[in-house]
Amino acid sequence: MKPILITHESYQNFVIEQLQKHYSGDILTIVSTDWPVISKLWITDLSYATTWLSNTYSLKGPAPRDPASMLRSYLLFLLTNPTIGITKWVDELYRVPLYAILCGFEPGDIPGVGTFYDFFRRLWGQEKDNIKPKIQRKRKKRKKKKLKKGEKQAPKDPGIVEKLVNRFLRYGSNNRLLPGDRLFDFFQSHFLTVSAILGLLGDLKSLGVAGDGTPLETSRYPRSKSTCNCSAQGITKCNHPRLYSQPDCNSGWDSSRERYFNGYHLYMISASDSPYDLPLYPRLQPASRHDAVSFVASSIEFLERFSLGTVDKMLLDAAHDAEAIYELLHHQNIEPFIDLNPRTKKNYSTRCDIQISPEGIPICPIGKKMKSNGYDASQNRQKWRCPLACGTKNTCKSPCSTAKYGRTFHTFSKDNLRLFPKTPRSSDTWTLTYKRRTSIERSNKREKVDYHLEAGRHRSTKMWYIRVYCIMMCQHIDAWYSELRETLNLSEIIFN
């Protein structure tokens, strides 16, 4: 049968009643470290989950568990014991009455392990647990070249980024339904919206976002089974398809750990101006994907689905320094702040005696870098001025211009979007803005280190997406608690 809606106020009253019943005596006690967790769930309204998942339940049958309580239980699991599995978490709910009460369950009346996995299936909303079929042709074992520390694995096809961008610019997006869309709709409507109201995402009219990929190791080695009996017949070299337990995963290079791994390439987009480095959108890609390739798909999908504001700036590291990405962001009316990946140390020549440095800065005839002197938005050009004429007089011994103002030079963004961005890389504005790019690294650190993202021993893309999204929800809940904790005094509300 359909689940019955339990309002957040009813949940709060239930928590007060149960805590007064079980924790007002001398047997069970709430310690100081319990109050942050109690407060985080107290301020998080998950009642909409019942309405959101109502169509996944049948009209007949036994009464189901409250979907909001099931989701709250999984979030509490991530907030307290993210390294254990669901089976051990059910044991924890029996062992610690406080955890059961905070989930919305009466102590001793705890859902089973199968109930949790049935609930995860409803969160996913897809028939298949993986994107690719489990039966695939046998993967060829290739000799893996060990890369240098910090070096990224190059794309298999060097021109793949340009091909993807050109395809999008020519045909547009196909707007296909993605496996994680169901989770993102709920995440955006009930977590991103709340954070936006509290002002934790930055200026929504000109939102700055940062993107970066991070390795997500799911197993030490890829696992597969044969679908034929060639081995029994003594045939050692067989090319028949195999059954892979993780069909969406493959092997990739982890530049931070300096080794190859098996799993996903998790590409994350976060709010760069957020004081809490809050995440906005995740995308699971095969481990072999390059950051630039993952960015093209992730950014297009994110901009099509994000409806709370207008993205104005995109902050990316040097792995994204491809001309096609600049063209993509220009088409999306987003200003790129991308660190240069030096391809040459030689200056570029122009039609006059001024050269352009590899960083996109004009070089005067005597070898001095010219100074940025403002951006002309009407003509989309950057003005540069002689560095020795920026004071009260021209101090150059051999000036190349008779004007007292000194020599000026203009660079047009349309000539080279990569070398001549709207905000020059040599300006203080660019430096201050680009400093916020590290927000995505801090956000990824919270997911992988604080919430032990890789501790999940899952075999399906479904469970990895659910784990990633729920960890992102916990990050937002932590930010809400940091903003509101001075106004909360739950001990007096509950026990007085």
> Domain residues of the chain, as ranges?
8-124, 135-340+436-482, 355-423
Q: How many whole angstroms separate alpha carbon 343 and alpha carbon 333?
A: 26
Beta-sheet pairing, 371-376 with 224-226: unpaired
- Look at strands 207-219 and 311-316 and give their pairing: parallel
What is the percent of the chain where pLDDT is above 70?
98
Mean pLDDT for 290-294 is 93
Q: Which residues pair with 253 in a beta bridge?
A: 260
Q: How many CB atoms lie under 10 A from the CB of residue 215?
A: 22
State the pLDDT at residue 350: 80
**Average pLDDT of the segment spanning 98-102:** 96
Q: Exposed, middle or buried: residue 484 (CB in 10 Å: 0-12, 13-18, 19+)? A: middle
Instruction: Output the six-digit token pair for 290.
Output: 């390059």
pLDDT band at 496 (very low <50, low <70, confident <90, very high): low
Q: Whole-angstrom Cα distance, residue 400 to residue 271?
A: 46
pLDDT band at 447 (very low <50, low <70, confident <90, very high): very high
- pLDDT score recorded for residue 197: 95
How confident is residue 454, by pLDDT bands cut at 50, 70 and 90? very high
pLDDT digits (tens, 9 = 90+) for 41-81: 999 999 999 999 999 999 888 889 999 999 999 999 999 99
Q: Where residue 37 falls among pLDDT bands split at 50, 70, 90?
A: very high
- What's the pLDDT at 488? 83
How far is the C-alpha of 142 from the C-alpha of 137, rounded, in Å?
A: 15
Q: Please check the confidence at residue 412 and state whether its pLDDT lies above 90.
A: no
Report the predicted TM-score, pTM, of the whole model to 2 decimal places. 0.91
**Average pLDDT in the chain:** 89
Kindly tell me if the per-residue pLDDT of 272 is higher than 90: yes
- pLDDT cut 90: percent of the chain above it: 59
What is the per-residue pLDDT across 227-251, written as a single tens digit (0 to 9) for each? 888 888 888 788 889 899 899 999 9
Q: What per-residue confidence (pLDDT) applies to 229? A: 87
pLDDT tens digits along 359-402: 888 888 888 888 888 888 777 788 888 887 776 677 787 778 77
User: What is the model's pLDDT at position 344?
Assistant: 63
Class of domain 135-340+436-482: alpha beta
N-to-C CA span, the chain: 38
